[in-house]
Structure 1
Amino acid sequence: MRAHGTVNTIFKQHPRHKPRPWIKGCAFQLPQQLPKAQRRLSHKLINWASLLDDTTEQQAKQTARMPFIHPHIALMPDAHSGKGSAVGTVIPTLGAVIPAAVGVDIGCGMVGVQTHIHHRTIEHLPLSDLREMIEETIPLSPGNYNDHLTRFDFTAPRIHALEVHAHDNQVDLTHSPKWRNQLGSLGGGNHFIELCLDETDHVWLFLHSGSRGVGNKIAQKHIKIAQQLCAQWWIDLPSRDLAYLAEGTLEFSTYLRDLTWAQKFAFENRAEMMDRFVAVFTQWSGTDDVEVERINCHHNYTVKERHAGKDVWLTRKGAVDAHEGVRAMIPGSMGTRSYVVTGLGNRAGLCSAPHGAGRRFSRTEARRRFTADDLAARMGGIEYRHGDAWVDEIPDAYKDIDQVMNDARDLVRVDHTLRQILNVKGT
């Protein structure tokens, strides 16, 4: 894609000229009548969230006013406030990318495996044993103690492929000398591993993670560079976290190379953990060749796509690809339902869909309101590690996933509804 000249030259102008980074957009017209699930909040912002707080709305409007947005921002049903721009925002840009909008967990997403195993095959087996096997095989920490790099045959080829990709694309990883140990580690926060049952009581293996510490280091490096450049050239930003890199500059191309590697790492990290999960599940259940289908999808990433007649850099910050026919996983919160979906290719929604339930309360506020006993009551019938370490992940801290999915009915078709019977959270 050839960027508009204003963006390509913006960092070459003299500071005293106080450059204004305007970019001419196309004459794309938003539809006058939108379905009930949608609401136009401004000329360049369409909202799908029926549960929307003022802070999130203002963040989305602020991002939508950036001069290179084309054709508009799509605010997903699970949207909530984030750093710089709201989580659950789909941001199409011409000739620029906002590193903080992509976020620090580059490539974070979901992977799910549908099995042919019915619940009756495993219902007599202790789920606590499986949980302990998972916790022994998949590091729940940052990965510093990952001693399984030689345990499975599938690990070494993944590391080699990532090494080759980094070498061939001149990706500098000196900031993360232990990145290999991070492959196959879960991490904390809302990352999880679950054993689920669908509406026919068939077993699904399901997990959520991203690019770990190495992705965070890459993101922080380029967020800082974008902020320094925008400050250097007197670009007036509504928020420092909306600092951007302009296409055609060395900084932009370097970020895209690093970003692509981090997204690949995140994808392979989930695949690595899922392969380990499949291995311990088959050992625990006494079954073999269980996998029917695998879905591995990002929900924090940037990719080039075509929308409203132009090639754009599309950043999905807390959203999944929902082009027509594309499969994706949308998790609920800890203790609630999750969904396997197929995209409907909604163009007004920028062919995107929500990535989960979306938070109602911050982690601090959730800990103020709820206790470990409250969490235990919400996790009735589910095998999990008890204690107060995960109180901030209680379902009450999140939006109602059923309302989110109802708001998303024009974006995706629900294929399967999953309920967990085992949950493992990161530390």
Structure 2
Amino acid sequence: MENMRINGNDLIALGYKENEALGVALKINRLRLGYKREEMLQKFKEVLDNPEAFLGDQVFAPLSNMLLNVDKLEKEYIKLKSEVDSYEVYGGDQIEAGAKKQMNTAMKLPITVAGALMPDAHQGYGLPIGGVLAANNAVIPYGVGVDIGCRMALSIFDLPATYLESHHDDLKKILMKTTRFGAGNGFLKHERLDHEVLENELFNENPFIQNLKDKAWTQLGSSGGGNHFVEFGIMEFQAEDKELGIHEGTYLALLTHSGSRGLGAMIANHYTKLAMELCKLPYEAKHLAYFDLDSAEGQEYWMAMNLAGDYASACHEVIHEKVLSELGAERLAKIENHHNFAWKEKWKGEDVIVHRKGATPAGEGVMGIIPGSMAAPGFLVRGKGEEQSINSASHGAGRLMSRTQAIKTLSRSEVSKKLEDLGITLIGADLDEAPKAYKNIHEVMAAQTDLVNVVASFHPKVVRMADDGSKED
């Protein structure tokens, strides 16, 4: 199968344009038709040069049809701006070209008002992860992302950091008892908890959402796969924070990262498909299909998105309350922030819809949490309200390697040795979440000193992640 791999760049080199025909050709290639790579490329070249000859071909007829009609289709598309609007890039030397290309496309949308790219940015679908986009009265489902309302939540307890060492095994047992991980995983009926979020009117009024209620109930209080985690660690305040009422010192803390589970994913996929049917954009921008917020579909998605955000928050609440009950400690403070969301905000005096796909709200005085990796510190921050970043900051360190690259190139024994040297206990996770798969969090933080002030640091010590190979993010 390795020699069958043909990508968009290979086809562009043959003369294909970046349009719908390119997409059809790539779909045909994925069928694995028994051709060797060079034979397949030759076929694609023949179809491109003489599409009429393949109109009756069992395999290549869809491609020949598209090539003959693509010009007509393109005339029906919503036109993009002829030039890329300027936008601010933070830590640009560490951001891959693919992410910048995606951001450039987003900046050409007719609804775009402003944009920014955070230092943890990397390529995704539609808007790049780490992309911030302010739009005029429109919302982009893939500008929000698949894991709607994915968020960080931090509880700081009245227990000293030394509690981690003296009660290490107890804390590990608490994580095993109170958490559930993995794509599709949830709780049995006798384990499920009720929560007011399940009483949301949309579960009765919207037929599509109504069918998701049982899934939402099943997964309430659980975490996904991929980079989602629940971990105990040491919270270090190098100075008193009067706003939080926490003195200088080190404390036991709980940090969680996950989102809206299956509920959010199905909402995202359903409304992205609908947006793409109603909002016809050129091929390179099709995943940025949007709803006008004055439309019925726009209002429907907006309400569903907010439900998914509330649900994600409820999942964190359930986890933190379970852990708090098991610990029997007092909670000094709880801080929470979300990303993968769209907000109605003011920017330069203008009403806009701000999409933060993998970006942390960082308005003046707004608190947020920016994690590193399982072996690197995270940071509790307070936003500075920087206008150029659209009041945003990074949502983490950002991936340095793709999941496939990490699994193929990194050593499990090397990862285990590093964690052992740092005194970190890991439960679950695959090599795609290894520390080396992520950018250096200190370099990422250095690239956004204009955006946030660091209040405290969090050092992970007992980390639980999915152990079933789930890639849900």
Which residue number corresponds to residue 346 of structure 2? 306
Which residue number corresponds to residue 215 of structure 1? 264
Output the amino acid matched with 2:288. Answer: L
Which residue number corresponds to residue 61 of structure 1? 104
Query: In the alignment, does 2:60 pair up with 1:18?
Result: no
Which residue number corresponds to residue 194 of structure 1? 231
Give the distance between the partners of 2:399 and 2:409, measured in 1 at CA. Answer: 14
Q: Is residue 144–residue 178 contact of structure 1 (8 Å, CA) maintained in 2?
A: no
Which residue number corresponds to residue 342 of structure 1? 382
Give the distance between the partners of 1:408 and 1:296, measured in 2 at CA. Answer: 20
Q: When the two structures are superposed, what TM-score results if normalisation uses the length of structure 1?
A: 0.83
- Length, aligned pairs only: 378
Give the distance between the partners of 2:360 and 2:230, measured in 1 at CA. Answer: 19
Shift of 1:97: 1.3
Q: Is residue 142–residue 182 contact of structure 1 (8 Å, CA) maintained in 2?
A: no
Q: Radius of gyration: which is bigger?
A: 2
- Residues 421, 144 of structure 1: alpha-carbon distance in 2 compared, 3 angstrom cutoff: closer
| Among candidates 149, 158, 161, match of residue 119 of structure 1 | 161
Q: Structure 1 stretches of 5 or more lacking a match?
A: 1-14, 24-40, 283-287
Q: Is residue 102–residue 126 contact of structure 2 (8 Å, CA) maintained in 1?
A: yes
Give the distance between the partners of 2:292 and 2:225, measured in 1 at CA. Answer: 33
Q: Is residue 142–residue 185 contact of structure 1 (8 Å, CA) maintained in 2?
A: no
Query: In the alignment, does 2:320 pair up with 1:274?
Result: yes
- Residues 145, 265 of structure 1: alpha-carbon distance in 2 compared, 3 angstrom cutoff: closer
Shift of 1:250: 1.4
Shift of 1:95: 2.2
Which residue number corresponds to residue 5 of structure 1? none
Give the distance between the partners of 2:234 and 2:165, measured in 1 at CA. Answer: 11
Q: Is residue 106–residue 219 contact of structure 1 (8 Å, CA) maintained in 2?
A: yes
Q: Is residue 197–residue 310 contact of structure 2 (8 Å, CA) maintained in 1?
A: no
Which residue number corresponds to residue 4 of structure 1? none
Q: Residues 65-91 of structure 1: CA distance to partner in whole angstroms, max 9, x if unpaired?
A: 111111x21101111111122100111
Output the amino acid matched with 1:342. Answer: R
Which residue number corresponds to residue 31 of structure 1? none
Q: Which has the higher helix share?
A: 2
Output the amino acid matched with 1:230. Answer: C
Q: Secondary structure at the match of 2:301?
A: helix
| Among candidates 66, 69, 93, match of residue 135 of structure 2 | 93
Give the distance between the partners of 2:340 and 2:74, measured in 1 at CA. Answer: 36
Q: Give RMSD over aligned pairs.
A: 2.3
Output aligned runs, 1:29-178, within 5 Å.
43-50=85-92, 51-70=94-113, 72-125=114-167, 127-142=168-183, 144-147=185-188, 155-156=193-194, 158=195, 160-167=196-203, 170=206, 172-176=208-212, 177-178=214-215
Q: Residues 58-117 of structure 1: CA distance to partner in whole angstroms, max 9, x if unpaired?
A: 1111111111111x2110111111112210011100022111121110000100011221
Q: Is residue 300–residue 317 contact of structure 1 (8 Å, CA) maintained in 2?
A: yes
Give the distance between the partners of 1:182 and 1:16, measured in 2 at CA. Answer: 42
- Residues 16, 206 of structure 1: alpha-carbon distance in 2 compared, 3 angstrom cutoff: closer
Which residue number corresponds to residue 410 of structure 1? 450
Query: In the alignment, does 2:309 pair up with 1:263?
Result: yes
- Residues 237, 143 of structure 1: alpha-carbon distance in 2 compared, 3 angstrom cutoff: closer
Q: Residues 375-427 of structure 1: CA distance to partner in whole angstroms, max 9, x if unpaired?
A: 112212111126xx521111111110000101110000000011111100124
Q: Secondary structure at the match of 2:427?
A: coil
Which residue number corresponds to residue 299 of structure 2? 253
Q: Secondary structure at the match of 1:57?
A: helix
Q: Is residue 143–residue 183 contact of structure 1 (8 Å, CA) maintained in 2?
A: no
| Among candidates 275, 293, 302, match of residue 226 of structure 1 | 275
Give the distance between the partners of 2:129 and 2:332, measured in 1 at CA. Answer: 32
Output aligned runs, 1:248-397, within 5 Å.
248-282=294-328, 288=329, 290-380=330-420, 381-385=423-427, 389-397=429-437
Greater length-normalized contact order (CA 8 Å, ≥ 6 residues apart): 1
Q: Structure 2 stretches of 5 or more lacking a match?
A: 1-72, 237-248, 468-473
Give the distance between the partners of 1:128 and 1:390, measured in 2 at CA. Answer: 22
Q: Secondary structure at the match of 1:348?
A: helix
Output the amino acid matched with 1:295. Answer: I
